Copies of this chain bind each other. A is one copy, B any other.
Amino acid sequence: MAIGLFRRSAVKILRVNMRDASLKWEPVPLEYEQVGGRALIAKLLLKEIPPACDALGPHNKLIFTPGLLGGAMVATAGRLSVGAKSPLTGGIKEANAGGTSGDALGKLGIKAIVAEDQPKAKTFSILVIDGEKAELIPVGDLRNTGTYATSDKLQERFGADATVICIGQAGENLMTGAGISTTGERDQRSNHAARGGLGAVMGSKGLKAVVIKKAVGKAVKMHDETLFRTAAKAYAQKLINDPKLGTKGSQHLYGTASIVGAVNEMGSLPTRNFSDGKFPQETELRGEKLRELVLAREGKVGTRCMPGCVIACRNLYADETGKPIVGTVQYETIALVGSNLGIGNLDDVATINYMCNDFGLDTIEAGAALGVACEAGLAEFGDIKGIIGLLKQVGEGTPLGRMLGCGAATTGRVLGIRRVPVALGQAMPGYDPRSLKGNGVTYCTSPQGADHTAGNAFGARKEVNPLGIEGQKQLSLKLQIIAAMLDSTGLCLFARPPIIANPQLMIDMINGIYGWGWTLEDYDRFNRDVLRTELEFNRRAGITQKDYRIPEYMREEPLPPHNVVFDVPDSDLDTIFETL
């Protein structure tokens, strides 16, 4: 695998010790050279932290890392991976987000920022990176400030083109549903590495924000620029030509919300705390409706979250007066805080979305927690006032707010509710596993817990019958390997089709930059190794098959309208990785 090794000596890891506030630029150790993004997170955590450690204690490490293609201006490949042991699942966690941070770090030759240990007292700092200079500065008046105001104030101070990665009240207060926000180009104020409570880890490190000043005139050094450019261009062209992804494609026109109708049609749209798979008002939540409203109100559609993206699936949702509420309203949020809460109105979805983003709270986890709270009677399904009244307490830090901010599993335990849609302690995204069983298999076998990006079978619903059990195990494994690849290179999930059809393009891009001479076999092994490493981390953390399981009620309570339960046998789940 290491033939033709080309070490980019300019590339460094930035170690930040949060106890003594010391910083160190470290040459990239050989063993971390050929990994990035999720793969680097897996390798580093397995090597450097005790897997059974307290996720909110000093031994956990928080990693920010672009994928292998980060900074090279490959279309859709600028995502930032954030990783740590998850305080939500107890296992390894990688969550990634668009925005400008992956690109900025890649251009600056920063392979990773690793935040270690934690302050003795509960103090907060901000890490500022300006080229080769890095320093920790006091948090000042940004304590308990939402992510929007935090980003705005830091961009005022460090430049409107600086990238700000930060947490809100949820992360500062160690809520296990807290995510991490990162800014994007100009009006793209909020992208989220949302899942697994990584915002709480950032809070436990006393790190309120990371500011990366724009890398002017910097570029990734190439081993073979021609090889790289040829492949990158061909890949971008394939994205543009893809009927779904190009400028006439549904993803560009309607964003991720384009699938609302199809998921509802399948009977898999989470509705009123996962008690139904169809939502009567689903047409009000569709991508088509979203586009219509946004255009009529002079909001924006078809914008990019990352530099160089040719899909541009993003929107900026505006209220009736044309005032922007939130960007970008996405499918998972619509499902979890819309239909799952009985809310059939995009204005209300956008309002909840904004609040979650501002508190720095995962909308999936928040929506699932609120669904459980509605089932417990704290608010009525569909009662937007009641639901907002609950949610705003997250920002206030009341015990009720903290409970919700800790996610669906904690909310279910406190309120005595059994019907809690989680796997490995993490809330399920917008596909009920009973009627999209491939996703169910991913939820309860992925080392990442229930996750829509860890191996999403929705796109394969015509290949494998989503209601059947046949072939789900094989499908999920295939998708999990692909997801590991995407998350390790910095690519967006939408980039999947061209890369699956032409894996040599990815290999050429990587070899073009790094000169590693990877073959198709190396590449396949690389992707599988990510999962292997993560599974080993979780095993050492004490996680067993029993911890991964789909909740009991989903195996016994039929989901309307198909009246199906999750019935993939445990024997399939327990053997899914045998061929890894």
Contact = CB atoms under 8 A, between A and B. Distances in A.
Interface of A: 52-54, 56-57, 59, 173-176, 200, 203, 378, 399-400, 402-403, 406, 410, 413-416, 418, 540-547, 549, 551-553
A553 B410 CA distance: 22
A463 B52 CA distance: 33
Given A410-B413, A413-B406, A414-B410, A52 B400 contact: no
A175 B545 CA distance: 26
A494 to B, nearest CB: 35
Nearest to A546: B542
**Which 6 pairs from chain A and chain B are nearest by CB?**
A542-B546, A174-B416, A542-B544, A54-B552, A399-B400, A52-B546
Contact of A418 (B57, B173, B416, B552): B57
B175 A416 contact: yes
B415 A402 contact: yes
A544 B91 CA distance: 14
A418 B54 contact: yes
User: Which of A56, A378, A414 has the most C-beta atoms of chain B within 10 angstroms of its own C-beta?
Assistant: A414
Contacts of A53: 552
15 contacts: A52-B546, A53-B552, A56-B416, A57-B418, A59-B552, A176-B413, A200-B416, A400-B400, A402-B414, A402-B415, A406-B413, A410-B414, A542-B545, A542-B547, A544-B544
A400 B543 CA distance: 30
Contacts of A378: 399
A80 B415 CA distance: 29
**Copies in the assembly, this chain:** 2
Contacts of A552: 53-54, 57, 59
Nearest to A390: B399
A213 to B, nearest CB: 32
A442 to B, nearest CB: 19
A300 to B, nearest CB: 37
Contacts of A543: 544
Contact of A399 (B403, B545, B551): B403
A173 B416 contact: yes
Contacts of A200: 416
A173 B377 CA distance: 13
Contact of A402 (B52, B416, B542, B551): B416
A553 B57 contact: yes
Given A403-B414, A413-B410, A549 B52 contact: yes
A553 B120 CA distance: 13
Contact of A56 (B400, B402, B418): B418
B418 A399 contact: no
Nearest to A549: B52
B54 A551 contact: yes
Nearest to A172: B416
A161 to B, nearest CB: 34
Nearest to A542: B546
A410 B402 CA distance: 11
A547 B546 CA distance: 13
Contact of A415 (B57, B59, B399, B541): B399
A56 B418 CA distance: 7
B414 A399 contact: yes
A339 to B, nearest CB: 25
A393 to B, nearest CB: 9
A418 B54 CA distance: 8
Interface centre among A56, A176, A399, A551 (most CB of B within 10 A): A399
A546 B541 contact: yes
Contacts of A203: 416
A549 B90 CA distance: 14
Given A59-B552, A399-B399, 20 more contacts: A54-B418, A54-B552, A57-B418, A57-B552, A173-B416, A174-B416, A176-B413, A203-B416, A399-B403, A399-B414, A399-B415, A400-B400, A402-B416, A403-B403, A403-B414, A406-B413, A414-B414, A542-B546, A542-B547, A543-B544
